[in-house]
Structure 1
Amino acid sequence: MRPVSRRTRTGALAAFTALSALLSTGSATAATQLNGDWAPFDRCPVDAPAMLAADGIDAIATCIASGSVTGSITLGKSHVTTGTTDLQLGVIQRSDGTTSLVAPPEGALTADPAEIPGGLLGLMCPSGIPLVSVICRQLTDNDLNRVTATIEPAGAPRDFNMSAAFSTGEPILTIPVRIHLKNPFLGDKCYIGTTADPVLLKPQNLNAPSISLQRFAADGTRDDAGEMGRYTFAGADQGDAAFAVPGASGCGAGLLDWAVNLKTGLPSAAGKNSVTLDDTSTYFGSPYDPAGLAPHEGRKLSEFWHSARQ
């Protein structure tokens, strides 16, 4: 990591710490186990063509990982406590000041599923509508009542603002998502938001994280003179309370959209929804001296990553 570029990298890391707020209701995915200080980057897309093409001078390839174990999301009248979350991305930083993102093959966002409090009873019941009343009377079985929510990407992140990464209260970027509601009565295509009309999250720093730097060897072993460097950002809360939420669609083949919307207060205007992720831990790793690996910095990063696989 060249000293001249550390401020730029610090800003990028703070920005992507905020992305972890999206993970609050995702679906966890198994990942490769890595040794030592490489461990947080087990899904970094080091073999993506854009990452491999980085030369260490005009383009620098880096890995970002961010996660938390607690948080919450409020959509209309529904409030969900979230579980363990994980965000990972590859980042290409260019000498002209531009930045591009590279997602892992399975997507950048994963997390433990979150359960909707009260399940389907909480979403739709009681109701004076015959169709819904029939369903409500059948919800004596926990499996039939249980509703899980999964956040899914609904478009590419955009509107990245590097300067906002150094401050609080300013949107860092925009991330389109949709929320997949799963229950036997709702079917497999029940969503809040769509790819055409997504929930647009604009996370921001709620407080500044503490920052530390670790050096480690190519295989992940801690080494104060190692080839790799890792910034650790800890203790930052991230959130957004200014996004709008569209109504549900595809629930019960569309027949139950109105019932979900009525009970949950959707669609919900901006200012009535929020997402918060508590006490995030975020890691930002790249070769400590990218220029020293030119013109193959991206390929060396991939080589180092694979050498740390357990």
Structure 2
Amino acid sequence: MNARPARRAAALAVGVALGTMAVPASAAVPSAAAREPLPPGLSFEDCPKLPAGADPSLWNCNVAVIAGGRLQVGRIDQAIVKPLRLTYALGYDPETLEQKSVVVPLKGDPIRVDGGVLGVPGTDVLPVLQVAAKPVLAAPPEFNVDAQTLLRLKLGIGVQNPLVGDRCSIGTGGDPVTLSLTVGTTRPPLPNKPITGSPPVDVASDPPTYKMTLVDNAFSAPRAGGCGPGSLFNGLVDWRSGLPARAGTNTAILVQYLTFKPYAGRTRVRR
């Protein structure tokens, strides 16, 4: 085998990222003991168009659905009760083997925050007292960052309430909430203690679908911004949310399902 085919073979061997981890279809990944219902959203309808000149044989469309877990930022500790979907193309340059990606924005409905504005369960019966949160990407995801960090997500958490308008956010492109997610064990500063994720197990074969738990409890969270006219309600959101929240006081536990399909096959792409 000459150098170029060998490099192509190597790229294909590692060319499937689980929104995190390279696991080809033939990899020896433990199977789930019993098949389970899959979450909605594991479809290829949003697969992006590849960059000009890309070799489809070195690219996959990946669909990751975060279908459970919790996100605790400051005083807000919210179960993930509605799925979030991240669709992205991941591939390699055939000459340099540099990893490249094309990412579609996160999709998902806002999640109503328990306790609303006052933070007391049962007090948010009126719309003006209700709060919903919706994570958005503040920057493109980073995959396989190092031996510990399989997925880095830089997020803005949109805060929705009749008083704060549609620009209120915890984290922005310049100062995001940065999750460095792992399936291993975290090393957070105190008072948090180490927590451990779970590696991928296959839960379906057509198309290949994996389930894993990604964790991070060593990240910080900035103050809110853009809340209300002239940012008048930034302080209210900070008070309700306990912001800023230093590293070691926040936790992300994300139960993720991921499927993939090669572009060289019949992947439907978005036009």
> TM (normalized to structure 2)?
0.73
Kindly state the Cα deviation for residue 163 of structure 1 after the two structures are TM-superposed.
5.8
Listed as ranges, the gaps of 5+ residues in structure 2 are 1-7, 23-41, 184-196
Q: 1:208 is matched by which residue type in structure 2?
A: P
CA distance in 1, matches of 2:125, 2:134: 22
Tell me what 1:135 maps to: none
Match of residue 245, structure 2, among 252, 268, 287 = 268
Tell me what 2:136 maps to: 152
CA distance in 2, matches of 1:249, 1:118: 21
Kindly state the Cα deviation for residue 118 of structure 1 after the two structures are TM-superposed.
0.9
CA distance in 1, matches of 2:258, 2:236: 39
CA distance in 2, matches of 1:306, 1:75: 37
CA distance in 2, matches of 1:251, 1:271: 26
Deviations 1:220-247 (A, max 9, x none): xxxxxxxxxx43213x111211111001
Kindly state the Cα deviation for residue 270 of structure 1 after the two structures are TM-superposed.
0.9
Pair 1:184-2:181 in alignment: no
Query: Is the contact made by 2:47 and 2:268 (CA closer than 8 Å) also made in structure 1?
Result: no
CA distance in 1, matches of 2:153, 2:67: 21
Structure 1 residues 190 and 245, CA, compared in 2 at 3 Å: closer, same or farther?
A: same
Kindly state the Cα deviation for residue 54 of structure 1 after the two structures are TM-superposed.
2.2
Query: Is the contact made by 1:173 and 1:203 (CA closer than 8 Å) also made in structure 2?
Result: yes
Tell me what 2:144 maps to: 161
Pair 1:41-2:44 in alignment: yes
CA distance in 1, matches of 2:203, 2:87: 19
Structure 1 residues 178 and 140, CA, compared in 2 at 3 Å: closer, same or farther?
A: closer
Pair 1:101-2:101 in alignment: yes
Q: 1:76 is matched by which residue type in structure 2?
A: G
Q: Cα RMSD between the aligned structures?
A: 2.9
Q: 1:148 is matched by which residue type in structure 2?
A: A
Tell me what 2:221 maps to: 245
Kindly state the Cα deviation for residue 143 of structure 1 after the two structures are TM-superposed.
1.4
Query: Is the contact made by 1:244 and 1:268 (CA closer than 8 Å) also made in structure 2?
Result: yes
Tell me what 1:285 maps to: 261
CA distance in 1, matches of 2:115, 2:158: 17
Larger radius of gyration: 1
Structure 1 residues 101 and 266, CA, compared in 2 at 3 Å: closer, same or farther?
A: same
Kindly state the Cα deviation for residue 119 of structure 1 after the two structures are TM-superposed.
0.8
Judging by fraction of residues, say which structure has more helix.
1
Match of residue 195, structure 1, among 145, 155, 173 = 173
Listed as ranges, the gaps of 5+ residues in structure 1 are 18-38, 124-138, 165-169, 216-229, 288-296
> Any idea what SS the aligned residue of 2:97 has?
coil
CA distance in 1, matches of 2:242, 2:158: 17
Tell me what 1:81 maps to: 79
Structure 1 residues 265 and 163, CA, compared in 2 at 3 Å: closer, same or farther?
A: closer
Tell me what 2:27 maps to: none
Kindly state the Cα deviation for residue 162 of structure 1 after the two structures are TM-superposed.
6.0
CA distance in 2, matches of 1:190, 1:212: 38
Alignment of structure 1 residues 46-125 onto 2, 5 Å: 47-48=49-50, 50=51, 53-56=53-56, 60-82=58-80, 83-95=82-94, 96-104=96-104, 107=105, 109-122=106-119
Deviations 1:273-303 (A, max 9, x none): 111122x32112116xxxxxxxxx5xxx5xx
Quote the sequence identity (%).
27
* Number of positions where the alignment pairs a residue of Structure 1 with one of Structure 2: 226
Kindly state the Cα deviation for residue 73 of structure 1 after the two structures are TM-superposed.
0.4
Deviations 1:134-160 (A, max 9, x none): xxxxx87521111110111112234x4
Query: Is the contact made by 2:150 and 2:181 (CA closer than 8 Å) also made in structure 1?
Result: yes
Pair 1:210-2:201 in alignment: yes
Structure 1 residues 178 and 162, CA, compared in 2 at 3 Å: closer, same or farther?
A: closer
CA distance in 2, matches of 1:176, 1:13: 17
Higher RCO (CA < 8 A, seq sep 6+): 1
Query: Is the contact made by 2:131 and 2:159 (CA closer than 8 Å) also made in structure 1?
Result: yes
Q: 1:13 is matched by which residue type in structure 2?
A: L
CA distance in 2, matches of 1:182, 1:14: 27
CA distance in 1, matches of 2:11, 2:119: 51
Question: After the TM superposition, which segments of 4 or more aligned residues of structure 1 sit over 6 Å from their partners?
Answer: none
